[in-house]
Chain A
């Protein structure tokens, strides 16, 4: 047996993982009866169907003949820089405030591009923070910590 369609194969596995996970955790809640369904009934049912579907998709992706495929190189730089910039923003928002954490978000996420240029990223950050201060803080009055925590309340 060979994997004919690796995307379907992996998608099937993903569905199996989510399906079994949901079905098993749904067993922790009361299932109830068909007439009086408990909180576990519907999720258990869904998890079960999803698992079966996942198995079906996985099996369909297999074939007896081997297929030669060129491997597409996985590029993780864009993903890492974009996702980590968001996580960092969440981590730093309270301690550093919006201005500094926005700066970090823009610079780190900019690194994900092939055309990364530090000078442009810095200028972009500066411009964007100014925009945010005017639109979100001044006009829309979003409640967001602006300055680092050690400076807050002192200025």
Chain B
């Protein structure tokens, strides 16, 4: 086992160390940070916008670059949280609380450093954890029958409701809508065309990229154009990147706590970066000797959630890579990207594409290292980017999106589809329907149907198969408990408060 782990990691490092892959890892981290820093664009939008650029690459390089984009964008999000009090995404909301306060007190440099180093430490640990858990978990997954898979997906989808802001009922509706959109195209089992309305471009199903870009990219742009925002950029010179001895002593246990919390929560469905950062902030405040200093620039309030969200972001790859189940939107994006590259995420990836699997894992470590090197010296450039006016930025994003979408199939139909889905996404924004559960449903839809059909075929039409197999039953019970938890008024109130703070 120990030897296996080492040789596997060695294979991974061999893959990543090739000049081409190193270059794409670097490019991913760089471009991800660049776009992630731009106002109003978080990791989800960044990945949606940049998906097509990775399709021309070989699968390993493409996925390494995408993973790099992901960390980069997340890192960029933390930077804007600290410097302008604008969280790039939900998981850096808590970073704003103390990070921006630190910046106001002239300690922006220290906040940025601690966030970079904390993320790096957490990333290393999480990468190691993935390598450790991947093989046993994927072996477990091989014992899954259709019933277990179906129930696991139910659990995963219910998990996505927890972190959709707004009404849980609407989130369930969005999941169902996503599952239905996933049905568009040719039914694999019977060869029948479903919901394609005689449009030949829909025969292969609704495109993942137009959906992701429409729902997250285009609708976000329209939303931002509707409200005028004033951003205050810290004018003072950035200095003092080095941490004081006292800071290091204070921060080390916080980073460790954040890393553990994040690594654990990232594995759970619906978890990942967001949940991790919220919980770790709460824990940090609880264990602190002076909890009243939180929200006023406590360095632990930056260190712990930043470590946690990076650890969580990384360990959320575990369910995707070993079970084939994306646990959050970004993993759904990665799943979509893998499928476009012709790789079905799941337990088979380890054995059929070992270089890809271990290469991507090793690239996480390398990518995080590059981010530390990249970000601290380049922070001045990132700050300048923040002042790019939106009226110049968004036409550029739109153009980039259009050309990217066209290039996937050399087809203008996808461009119109994106406009249509952008309109739908805008409608969802107006009706306060979170699009994340929809994307998850869309990715899981065909898989869920296939496993439901196979399960029912095996049991000759008896649905009890889902309740009599112990693992399947366990997943369903967990899903049920999660639903109850969401429905209980007290918890719901807490959850709504958390989202209100975010807004």
> Does B392 touch A at the CB level, under 8 Å?
yes
A121 with B415: CB separation less than 8 A: no
Known: A60-B169, A109-B394, A140-B53. A34 touches B416 (CB 8 A): no
- Which residues of the partner chain B approach A57 to less than 8 Å between Cβ atoms? 167, 169-170, 173
- Which residues of the partner chain A approach B53 to less than 8 Å between Cβ atoms? 140
Residue of A nearest to B446 (CB): A42
Known: A90-B419, A110-B391, A143-B407. A29 touches B399 (CB 8 A): no
Residue of B nearest to A34 (CB): B461
> Does B209 touch A at the CB level, under 8 Å?
no
Tell me the complex Cα distance, A30–B222, Å. Answer: 41
Tell me the complex Cα distance, A104–B413, Å. Answer: 18
Residue of B nearest to A124 (CB): B392
Tell me the complex Cα distance, A51–B76, Å. Answer: 41
B422 with A114: CB separation less than 8 A: no
A75 with B403: CB separation less than 8 A: no
A75 CB → nearest B CB, Å: 5
Residue of B nearest to A143 (CB): B410
- Which residues of the partner chain B approach A140 to less than 8 Å between Cβ atoms? 53, 56
Q: Which of A35, A102, A114, A121 contacts B228 (CB 8 A)?
A: A114
A14 with B398: CB separation less than 8 A: no
Tell me the complex Cα distance, A32–B194, Å. Answer: 15
- Which residues of the partner chain A approach B456 to less than 8 Å between Cβ atoms? 34-35, 37
B191 CB → nearest A CB, Å: 9
Tell me the complex Cα distance, A94–B395, Å. Answer: 20
B415 with A39: CB separation less than 8 A: no
Tell me the complex Cα distance, A5–B399, Å. Answer: 37
Q: 8 Å CB contacts to B: which residues of A70-112?
A: 75, 78-79, 82-83, 85-87, 89-91, 93-94, 98, 102, 105-106, 109-110, 112
Tell me the complex Cα distance, A41–B394, Å. Answer: 43
Known: A7-B431, A105-B395. A39 touches B190 (CB 8 A): yes
Instruction: Count residues of B near A (Cβ-Cβ below 8 Å).
Output: 63
A9 CB → nearest B CB, Å: 9
> Does B34 touch A at the CB level, under 8 Å?
no
- Which residues of the partner chain B approach A47 to less than 8 Å between Cβ atoms? 180
A26 CB → nearest B CB, Å: 8
B398 with A87: CB separation less than 8 A: no
A30 with B190: CB separation less than 8 A: yes
Instruction: Count residues of A near B (Cβ-Cβ below 8 Å).
Output: 69
Q: Which of A26, A33, A36, A128 contacts B399 (CB 8 A)?
A: A128
Known: A29-B194, A106-B395, A121-B395. A11 touches B433 (CB 8 A): yes
A113 with B225: CB separation less than 8 A: yes
Residue of A nearest to B433 (CB): A11
Which chain A residues have a beta carbon within 8 Å of chain B's beta carbons? 7-8, 10-11, 14-15, 18-19, 22, 25-26, 29-30, 33-43, 46-47, 49-50, 53-54, 56-57, 60, 75, 78-79, 82-83, 85-87, 89-91, 93-94, 98, 102, 105-106, 109-110, 112-117, 120-121, 124-125, 128, 132, 136, 140, 142-144
Task: Give 5 closest A-B pairs by Cβ, nearest first.
Answer: A35-B461, A78-B225, A90-B415, A34-B461, A39-B187
Which chain B residues have a beta carbon within 8 Å of chain A's beta carbons? 53, 56, 167, 169-170, 172-173, 176-177, 179-180, 183, 187, 189-190, 192, 194-195, 218, 221-222, 225-226, 228, 389-392, 394-396, 398-399, 401-403, 406-407, 410, 412-413, 415-416, 418-419, 422-423, 426-427, 430-433, 448-449, 452-453, 456-457, 459-461, 463
